[in-house]
Amino acid sequence: MKSIVISLGLIIAFTFSGCNNERETIYDEANVPEYTLPATLVNSTGDTVSNYVEWNQTRRPEILEMFEKEVYGPVSELEYQVGFAVTILSDSLLNGKAVMKEIEAVVTTANGRDTFMILYVHPAGMKKVPVFTGLNFSGNHTIDSFPGITIHSEWVRNSESKHITGNVANPESRGTSKSRWPLELLINHGYGVATAYYGEFDPDYDDGFENGFHPLFAPPGTDRTKHSPGSISIWAKGMSLIADYLVGDTISDPTRLIALGHSRLGKTALWCGANDTRFAAVISNNSGCGGAALSKREFGETVGSINNMFPHWFNDRFNHYNGKEKKLPVDQHMLLALMAPRPVYVASATEDQWADPMGEFLALSETVPVYGIFGYDQDFPETLPPADKPYDGITAYHLRSGPHDITAFDWHMFIRWCNKWLVD
């Protein structure tokens, strides 16, 4: 693999040789192939959807089903029970401004039971607070250096060698993701935050459905070639299980839960938001291929490269489109449209060309007519906004300067936008 970086990292070219369909990675708009996007507002019978009743009754379910079948596999609708045990870790965090809690959740289905741990930080002395809800990469104890935060999953800790990504919960990493979870900023603005470790729901390697919550929701024997849920679906289920706690909690406002995620967890936040409409707003940060970016542009990470690198993230059927994006009957603009009429935010970063910022922006722009049938008349930008200049409509976008990450700038923009769209 060779790499050449030309001018501010905006145009980068390298040969990606790790996938079946070996081909040059596209990092130049001039090389984007011609493509036609499937129409969001035309249903399978060829009729145009012109009002939100038709959208909700016919087109939305059709699109959701296409994503289940072609891309992610379904988020399980299997019956389950979930019980919660709450422990207060600190009622005087941040000089008394915040309360930190751990909630151990026990989930039971006909196939068995398993547990996971939620870390929940909320402003002290407040009720009905909006709550950012998202998974973390390496354990709840990484989001803050508070010493009492439990490293919950011994099992995950002990299976380190199997993790292809290195996102393993271990004691050395206490507080190491602090910059990605600016607790004080959130508390100062009256927001709560609830998170859980994604590896508890499904360890990030191809485990043949054996580990994490896969056996509970898609037991061994589930036919992987058909409607099997990939890891993203199981992670999305995990976010919904956190919402199960929050909707019954006395501090959080069940009408103002915000699904948020960065990168593969941004893909997860979108797929969760599409399925679980209890989330009143959805934020995708640098989610890229299989998230907010249009697959048919083949820019940066492609369907073939993501399926080869991460064979467990998606439904097996998604492999069918490796190098054949033109054949995809859906594209990611339709995933974003599934958030309508709820506020949705897509954030990109200038140096994250692998995630195709332009493709993320164009996908979002395609949702404007869908929000239109709900009565939102937007002044959506016609071209990619300049770096660090957000557009904060009901479908919001920003292109942050810098690398693939979630930073204080991103959070400031998300808070400002939530203040605008999730008003009391």
Compute the least distance from the CB of residue 135 to ligand GTR, in Å. Answer: 11
The CB-of-264 to ligand GTR minimum distance in angstroms stands at 3
Q: Is 400 in the site for ligand GTR (CB under 6 A)?
A: no
DSSP string, 199-262: HHHS-SS--TT-STTHHHHS-TT--TTSS---HHHHHHHHHHHHHHHHHT-SSEEEEEEEEEEE
- Which of residues 99 and 259 has its CB atom nearest to ligand GTR in the complex? 259
Q: Does 288 interact with ligand GTR (rule: CB under 6 A)?
A: yes
Minimum Å gap between C-beta 310 and ligand GTR is 7
CB of 288 to ligand GTR, least distance (A): 5
Kindly name the residue from 159, 163, 189, 404 that is annotated as catalytic: 404
**Does residue 289 bind ligand GTR (CB under 6 A)?**
yes
Measure the CA–CA gap between 369 and 69, rounded to whole angstroms. 25
70 binds ligand GTR (CB under 6 A): no
Query: Has 263 been annotated as catalytic?
Result: yes
Nearer to ligand GTR, 98 or 265 (CB): 265
Contacts of 347 (CB under 8 A, 6+ apart): 283, 284, 285, 286, 397, 398, 399, 400, 410, 413, 414
Of 28-36, 145-153, 245-253, 301-309, the segment contacting ligand GTR by CB under 6 A is: 301-309
415-420: long-range contacts at Cβ-Cβ below 8 A with a sequence spacing of 24 or more? 415/185, 415/186, 415/189, 415/191, 416/392, 417/343, 417/345, 417/390, 417/392, 418/130, 418/191, 418/258, 418/281, 418/343, 419/189, 420/392
Q: Say whether residue 261 binds ligand GTR (CB under 6 A).
A: no
Cα–Cα distance, 317 to 322 (Å, whole number): 10
Q: How many residues bind ligand GTR (CB under 6 A)?
A: 7
Residues 6+ apart with CB under 8 A from 68: 74, 227, 315
Minimum CB–partner distance for residue 38 and ligand GTR (Å):
22
Q: Decide: is 263 part of the binding site for ligand GTR (CB under 6 A).
A: yes
Examine residue 306 and tell whether it contacts ligand GTR (CB under 6 A): yes
Q: Which of 214, 227, 256, 264 binds ligand GTR (CB under 6 A)?
A: 264
199 part of the interface to ligand GTR, by CB under 6 A:
no
Q: Is 312 among the residues that bind ligand GTR (CB under 6 A)?
A: no
Burial zone of 5 (CB within 10 Å; 0-12 exposed, 13-18 middle, 19+ buried): middle
Report the first-to-last Cα separation within the chain, whole angstroms. 52
Nearer to ligand GTR, 151 or 406 (CB): 406
Q: Is 269 in the site for ligand GTR (CB under 6 A)?
A: no
Distance CA 49, CA 188 (A): 43
Nearest in space to 21 (alpha carbons), one of 316, 350, 301, 421: 301
Q: Which is nearer to ligand GTR, 43 or 167 (CB)?
A: 167
Q: Which residues ranging from 166 to 185 are in contact with ligand GTR (CB under 6 A)?
A: none
User: Shortest CA distance to 400 belongs to which of 336, 362, 352, 365?
Assistant: 352
To the query of whether residue 404 is one of the catalytic residues in this protein, the response is: yes
301 contacts ligand GTR (rule: CB under 6 A): yes
Q: Is 151 in the site for ligand GTR (CB under 6 A)?
A: no
Catalytic choice (263, 287, 305, 365): 263
Q: How far is the CB of 355 from ligand GTR (least distance, A)?
A: 7
Q: Biggest alpha carbon distance in the chain? A: 60
Give the residue numbers annotated as catalytic, written as ranges: 263, 404
Residues of this chain that bind ligand GTR (CB under 6 A): 263-264, 288-289, 301, 306, 309
